[in-house]
Amino acid sequence: MSFFIGTTADGDKFLTTAGYTALILLAIALLLIGNALLSKRKTFDTTRLAFAAMALALGVVTSFIKVYHMPMGGSITLFSMLFISVIGYWFGLGAGLTTAFAYGLLQLMIDPYILSIPQMLIDYIFAFGALGLSGCFTKCKSKYAIIFAYLTAITGRFFFSVLSGYVFFAEWAPEGWNPIVYSMAYNAAYIYAEGAITVIVLLIPAVRTAFNHVKAMALKEQ
């Protein structure tokens, strides 16, 4: 793995040029392969691919707009998790997981923090990939389905982030804090804070109507 991940004199790990290249190619491959395997049609589903690529772009751009940045990396962003979650909600679990995994790879490329391979996988691939769990609500008919889908998605990310905090960052817990409790409190502080803001916005009828209108456009030719 040293070809893709280098180590500084201080022992910190970083992505090499080959590592960045591999991640970009893997993210593109995930979208293309996922699109080909998960499409309901025999032909290449350009609609699904276009919406997934658009969601990835919006997710990445809004992840740079940080409402609040916490110590050690957590941050409240401008609805970045929502843009990734909607793909699963629109197209199903498979498409959601594929897009979310690709997003995790892009986040690893943009802002890598690597202690070990297992930590990298949990923090970037599994935690961000869990945003695809929104696909569990694709067929939900409730007018609040998008909110249920979104909350499920961010709870999946919360689970893996807490796991990573407990396993790999327990020594950073303040004195007197149980590491698992501290990891839950730390990760909830930014994941569910952004979640609360997003849900408040989604509760606005006009916003939900707009999302449903875009969903209808996305599924028109499915």
pLDDT tens figures, 10-57? 555 555 666 666 666 666 776 666 656 555 554 447 777 888 888 888
Domains and CATH numbers, the chain: 5-219 (1.10.1760.20)
pTM of the model: 0.83
Residue 128's pLDDT is: 96
| Helix, strand, coil percentages, rounded to 5, for the chain | 70, 5, 20
Torsion of CA 174, 179, 181, 183, to 10 degrees: 90
175-207 pLDDT per residue, tens: 889 999 999 999 999 999 999 999 999 999 999
Confidence band for 106, pLDDT divided at 50, 70 and 90: confident
Alpha carbon distance 56, 94 (integer Å): 16
Do residues 161 and 171 touch, judged by C-beta distance below 8 A?
A: no
pLDDT given for residue 3 in this prediction: 52
CA atoms of 13 and 32, how far apart (whole Å) = 30
Q: Quick one: pLDDT band at residue 8, thresholds 50, 70, 90? A: low
Pick from 190, 193, 216, 214: nearest CA to 54: 214
- What are the phi and psi torsion angles at 104 (to 5°)? -60, -40
pLDDT band for 137, please (50, 70, 90 cuts).
very high
Q: How many CB atoms lie within 10 A of CB 150?
A: 26
Can you tell me whether residue 113 is helix, strand or coil?
coil
What is the reported pLDDT for 23? Answer: 63
Nearest in space to 68 (alpha carbons), one of 191, 157, 200, 204: 191
**Residue bearing the bigger pLDDT, 221 or 121:** 121
Report the alpha-carbon distance of residue 95 to residue 131 in Å, rounded: 11
